[in-house]
């Protein structure tokens, strides 16, 4: 493949945000200091992977809700619950049960609808119990020949 048809990988990240049993919207955008390599979500792209880094975990064992939407309220979803319809369990650090993470393969072609916020996709997430602090990363590829 030549350079004009090679997909360009990108990364979007969220700010570190507290989670509870109540649904919380985490914004994937480039305006966060959580990852210096983050960019705004392109208007047309393929979304590949979602990773969540969890710290300060208290009681939680699983995600109760986990889906992507184009709006902060979660009223316009672009996925069902990630993890093949059931939110995935948290994988805990064997040396520290207050640390853990979740990784999910998405493989979703995305085109921002007119109701969407330019450069942003939201993760709607809640825990099954307790609290944690979460930083999310969304990996993807620009569509062939596009720069944004």
pLDDT in tens, 37-92: 777 788 888 999 999 999 999 998 888 889 999 999 999 999 888 765 677 789 99
CA 34, CA 14: separation in Å to the nearest integer?
A: 7
62 is a domain residue: yes
113 is a domain residue: yes
148 is a domain residue: no
* Of 12-16, 67-71, 85-89, 129-133, minimum mean pLDDT range: 85-89
Residue 28 has pLDDT above 70, yes or no: yes
4 is a domain residue: no
CB contact at 8 A, 119 and 22: no
Its domain, for residue 14, covers 9-142
2 is a domain residue: no
**31 pLDDT tier (thresholds 50, 70, 90):** low
CB contact at 8 A, 38 and 135: no
3 is a domain residue: no
Residue 30 has pLDDT above 80, yes or no: no
The pLDDT, as a whole number, for residue 1 is 39
Q: For the domain that residue 133 is a member of, what is the CATH number?
A: 2.60.120
Total structural domains within the chain:
1
Token digits for 50? 């979602």
């Amino acid at each position: 493949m030549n350079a004009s048809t090679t997909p360009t990988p990108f990364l979007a990240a969220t700010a570190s945000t507290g989670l509870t049993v109540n649904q919380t919207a985490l914004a994937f955008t480039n305006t966060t200091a959580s990852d210096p390599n983050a960019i705004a979500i392109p208007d047309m792209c393929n979304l590949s992977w979602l990773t969540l880094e969890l710290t300060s975990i208290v009681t939680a064992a699983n995600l109760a809700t986990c889906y992507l939407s184009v709006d902060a309220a979660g009223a316009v979803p672009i996925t069902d619950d990630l993890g093949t319809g059931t939110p995935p369990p948290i994988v805990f650090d064997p040396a520290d049960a207050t640390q853990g993470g979740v990784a999910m393969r998405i493989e979703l072609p995305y085109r921002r609808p007119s109701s969407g916020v330019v450069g942003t996709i939201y993760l709607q997430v809640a825990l099954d119990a307790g609290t944690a602090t979460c930083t999310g990363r969304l990996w993807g590829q620009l569509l062939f020949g596009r720069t944004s």
